[in-house]
Copies of this chain bind each other. A is one copy, B any other.
Amino acid sequence: MPDSRPRNDNFLRALLKKPVERTPIWLMRQAGRYLPEYCATRQRAGDFLSLCKSPDLACEVTLQPLARYDLDAAILFSDILTVPDAMGLGLYFETGEGPRFQRPLREESAINRLLAPDPRERLGYVLDAVRTIRKALDNAVPLIGFSGSPYTLACYMVEGGGSRDFRHIKTMLYARPDLLHRILDVTTEAVIAYLNAQIECGAQAVMIFDTWGGSLADAAYAEFSLAKLQNIVAGLHKTWEGEKIPSIIFTKGGGLWLEKIAASGCDGVGLDWNVNIGDARRRVGDKVALQGNLDPNVLFAPPETIKAEAIKVLTAFGVSGPGSTGHVFNLGHGISQFTPPEHVEALVETVHNFRF
């Protein structure tokens, strides 16, 4: 495994609140369907899961956005549901329907049998992808590893797929909180092992996607999502081979809880586009770095509007340019498949050229 710092380490420095040369930028889902070269590789792979499970193809698509744009980080190409798949739930994708599990987790007996998988045994394809990507990146930019949050994974595990109302997991949460806690605790253990294995194989930062934490009531978020995120952060490698490994927590729809998320022990907090990033900074102070938070739909507008809206985010954050600290520019959610690729160029240039 390569062990030197990336030549462009602005992303890591921003997360650790050290001075940077420019505000770093990467985009959630940057290796995705808006890129024709991604669609071509995916077609060659046959389907989405085969793409995730081939380390070479996962590496290929991970690098595609970096070949097009001057991005400051790569993110492992994978799916957030690899962990429950490794737990035996049977992940599959229904065309146009998103992810599904063959065996949703609702019976007490099945919940009691749930075990955290050893990532080296059951998720070797992901770890191979991490190693392959690190090698291919050749220390140009850092590689981000990631996982879904325990509550988000549990949503899919209990519902059996995506959901509009989360009726089954919410029923369990209110009627049998003990069962949900068991699912979440096993999943927390699994996520810690999974992220630490990614770090050991070369991930230089990790991000936890809490996509559905924002569907919870205030007290339920603290108990069923944030508490598990805190346990994960506490269990992560803080350094590996002499380098600090920053962690980012992103609860979509979590704008009301930023102070609590910032107190979880993570280094960076992801922000969706509902939040004003300047208000967020005033609320959390200098405790953590902030990552975000342009509305992904801005990328449908002409380049001049993209520039103006990106500058609003940079200005709201309040510090940028040489010596700035603590802001990783990103979208507030994954980039849309309908984004014109040339619009991303305008965004990246604007962020890099911005001087406060």
Interface residues of A, Cβ cutoff 8 Å to B: 165-167, 170-171, 173-175, 214, 216-221, 253, 255-256, 273-276, 279, 295, 297-298, 300-302, 305, 309, 312, 332, 336, 338
**Which residue of B170, B273, B298, B309 is within 8 Å of A300 (Cβ)?**
B170
Known A300-B175, A301-B175, A302-B175: A274·B214 in contact at CB below 8 Å: yes
How far, in angstroms, from A218 to B273 measured CA to CA in the complex? 7
Give the residues in chain B near A309, CB-CB below 8 Å: 174
Copies in the complex: 2
Would you call A275 and B297 a contact (CB within 8 A)? no
How far, in angstroms, from A198 to B218 measured CA to CA in the complex? 35
Give the residues in chain B near A298, CB-CB below 8 Å: 174
Give the residues in chain B near A165, CB-CB below 8 Å: 297, 336
Would you call A336 and B274 a contact (CB within 8 A)? no
Known A174-B301, A175-B301: A276·B219 in contact at CB below 8 Å: yes
Would you call B297 and A166 a contact (CB within 8 A)? yes
In this complex, what residue of B is CB-closest to A257? B274
In this complex, what residue of B is CB-closest to A294? B217
Q: DSSP class of A's interface residues: helix, strand, loop or mixed?
A: helix
**Which residue of B214, B256, B276, B338 is within 8 Å of A167 (Cβ)?**
B338
Would you call B256 and A253 a contact (CB within 8 A)? no
In this complex, what residue of B is CB-closest to A255? B256
6 examples of A-B residue contacts, CB within 8 angstroms = A167-B336, A171-B301, A174-B295, A174-B298, A174-B305, A218-B275
Give the residues in chain B near A256, CB-CB below 8 Å: 255-256, 274-275
* Distance (whole angstroms) from the CB of A144 to the closest CB of chain B: 24
How far, in angstroms, from A218 to B312 measured CA to CA in the complex? 11
